[in-house]
A and B are shown apart, each in its own frame.
Chain A
Amino acid sequence: MSHRRRAVTERLYRALLLTYPEQFRERHGDEMTRLFLEKGVDARRRNGRAGAFVHWLSGATDALRNGVGERWNESRQSRREAGTPTANARRTNERGGGGMDSVLKDLKYASRTLLQNRGFSVVAIVTIALGIGANTAIFSVVRAVLLQPLPYEDPQELVLLWGELRNRGITHFPTSPPDFVDFRDRADALEDLAGVSTFQASLTGDGDPVQVDVGSVTPNLFSMLGIEPVLGRNFVEEDGLPNPQGALPGQPGVLPGIVILSHALWQQRYAAAPDVIGRSIEIGGGPAEIVGVMPPGFELLMPPTAALTPNVDLWTAARLDYVNSPRNNVVLRPVGRLREGATVEQLQAQVDLIAADLMIDNPIKATAGYRLRVENFAADVTAHVRPVLLALFGAVVFVLLIACANVSNLLLVRASGRDREFAVRAALGGTRSRLIRQMLIESGLLAAVGALLGIALASGGITLLLGFQPADLPRHRNRSHRWTRPSVHGRIRYRRGCDFRNGSRDPDVQVRTRRRIEGSGRPLHEPVPKADQERGRRCGGRVVARPADRVRLDGAELRGTEQRAAWIRFRRSPYVQRRPSVRPLPAGHRSSGFQS
């Protein structure tokens, strides 16, 4: 082994030894390193470079494993050796909280207390779960439908152009091919303009005849949207050349329709055969040729008012005569792409001028009050569901807020019933930070279980929601369980965990602790004194407080004296209903959850 390699190996191995407790390292570190290096030399001599590598790897793993094990041993031993519980608690706290092990202990203790108060735990968890579940479900849909960009290239540049016949009350009027050309060629703000219409036709010529939904598009549509077929080729300009004038389907001289299959039809009718490309079929009795297959899941999203079939089985390039067709033969729904930097408003101004010109040439348009309206594609596609979804979303956000407030109240009520437990723990040497950590872990555990259940509820909720789904809810197929939402809620829940406050955090905790233990001097089994009963009743009052006040208390970040002042104001406010049905807490209640 070269000198340099040996030095590097030695340093690396010594770094690994840092996992061992210091004492162990000092005692055995040198020898271990030496043994490791000697063994490495052996291994290299016997099995060459590969042998040395294997030795290195297994030796390093071995050191790491044993180092961690030794450290674990040491911490366990030191705990076992530590004397009284008080000393133990102090010691743990002095070492900055006592590390992973005491957190585990806190977790165990927290789950025991929560299990003991099953009623409380179930109510809190279900409240949290409902809040999170409803939010996650709705948000998953909101995100899929409203927030995610359209599945096309640069979707923010895409626009829809709708004809309006204002005097006739028509808002989604198609465009005739000659008008389409006028708009395409004269509006500078447009980079490209495509058009689409749908119809039903019979598909024959290869097997059983079937009725299919056909999307008839201008050849540039898919390239404008940035969609490429998964098989075969895209439409080209020649695919859309018009038939000779007067030619009818089936007659000689008629050009074949050029077809791109949808992925679904390709799979169902053609069993995903790759050789469909070039196959001749008949659509509506006219000859056609398959040139490609669209990617799975592709659909041309349109608002329901467009009266287009959403799930198209096959696409053909429209053979339209853009010059000679009558201007009243309206067939196309135009989809455009804005030139870079151009805005919807600029385009609107330009098409207004063009539409004005068209009205001069066509009196029928003038009497109908013709106009072309430009809409942002994404906004227009979801315009009809946006208000409903947002309203639902707003509602469930408030459900979550109310759930948070409810759980906070539950925790506060519960905490005031546990004064004794904390007092005793404090007297046994539990420092304030330790008690606070215990509380945080308890509420954290509640939140975690609630969140898990909430996510499960959300999965079911999404299915339920889509069961109610209006048939024209666009894009919901893209929705899935969204992890972003639970993470947002994770933060909220965590905050709520911190919001939870208990007396042990107050500055005068020690005085009160002493008073509670010495002053009252009441054994755990004695009846609750009058004052405490009164306090219990007030706690009951908090539970039935109105949601508005809960929100205020929970939402405001009030700390220390400010918080106490607010709390007192709240307690005296007329909103706190003291229902006679709320009984003072029974004697046994105050000791519930006490274990030490």
Chain B
Amino acid sequence: MATSEDGDFLPLTPVAFDILLSLLGGEAHGYAIMRSVQERTGAEASLHAGTLYRALARLVETGWIEELERAGSDESDERRRYYRVTGVGRRVARAEALRLENQLGAARAHGLLGRA
């Protein structure tokens, strides 16, 4: 359940929300996060390494995601850090989704997306 406290962080930056969404499906490393954001938004050059890792560092700092201790599952992933969304992160993402849904509802009500 989203509390009012979670609402204090809203609105999230698009990048932060994207990362949280990508991690809802389970733990992932940077490259996988980027790929999933790309697939979802369809934009090819949307997320670069600089923006991604800075956002990851911020999210870890705020405690919405956490870094996993273990190394990657296979040899080639040795250098990769894996990330996982925390409970707080999940709640914040939900609060953001609700906020967006409200706005979407308003947009619909005004016929912006055609009559539902």
Contacts and interface: CB of A to CB of B under 8 A. Distances in A.
A63 B48 contact: yes
Given A35-B30, A38-B31, A28 B45 contact: no
B53 A28 contact: yes
Contacts, number: 61
A562 B97 CA distance: 73
Contacts of A38: 31
A32 B49 contact: yes
B50 A63 contact: yes
Nearest to B52: A35
A59 interface: yes
B49 A62 contact: yes
A55 B48 CA distance: 9
Contact of A30 (B45, B51, B79): B79
Interface in B37-92: 44-45, 48-54, 56-57, 79-81
A30 B29 CA distance: 13
Interface in A46-92: 46, 54-55, 58-59, 62-67, 69-70
Given A34-B79, A35-B31, A65 B57 contact: no
B80 A58 contact: no
A24 B52 CA distance: 13
B45 A31 contact: no
B31 A62 contact: no
B48 A58 contact: yes
B28 to A, nearest CB: 13
A66 B54 contact: yes
Contacts of A62: 48-51
A180 interface: no
Contacts of B49: 31-33, 35-36, 39, 59, 62-63
Interface in A505-529: none
A359 interface: no
Interface residues of A, number: 26
A59 B31 CA distance: 14
A67 B49 CA distance: 11
Given A24-B57, A30-B79, A67 B50 contact: yes
Given A43-B44, A46-B44, A54-B45, A31 B30 contact: yes
A33 B48 CA distance: 11
A34 B52 CA distance: 13
A69 B48 contact: no
A58 B50 CA distance: 10
B19 interface: no
B53 A31 contact: yes
A58 B48 CA distance: 8
A36 B79 contact: no
Nearest to B60: A27
Nearest to B45: A58
Contacts of B30: 31-32, 35
A30 B5 CA distance: 36
Nearest to A67: B50
B23 interface: no
B93 interface: no
B10 to A, nearest CB: 21
A78 to B, nearest CB: 14
A60 B52 CA distance: 13
Contacts of A65: 50
B34 interface: yes
A39 B50 contact: no
Contacts of B52: 35
Contacts of B81: 28, 31
Contact of A66 (B31, B45, B50): B50
Candidate in B50, B79, B81 with the most chain A CB atoms within 10 angstroms: B50
Contacts of A55: 45
A58 B49 CA distance: 10
Contacts of B53: 24, 28, 31-32, 66
Candidate in A28, A54, A55, A59 with the most chain B CB atoms within 10 angstroms: A28
Contacts of A59: 48-50
Candidate in B30, B49, B51, B79 with the most chain A CB atoms within 10 angstroms: B49
Interface of A: 24, 27-28, 30-36, 38-39, 43, 46, 54-55, 58-59, 62-67, 69-70
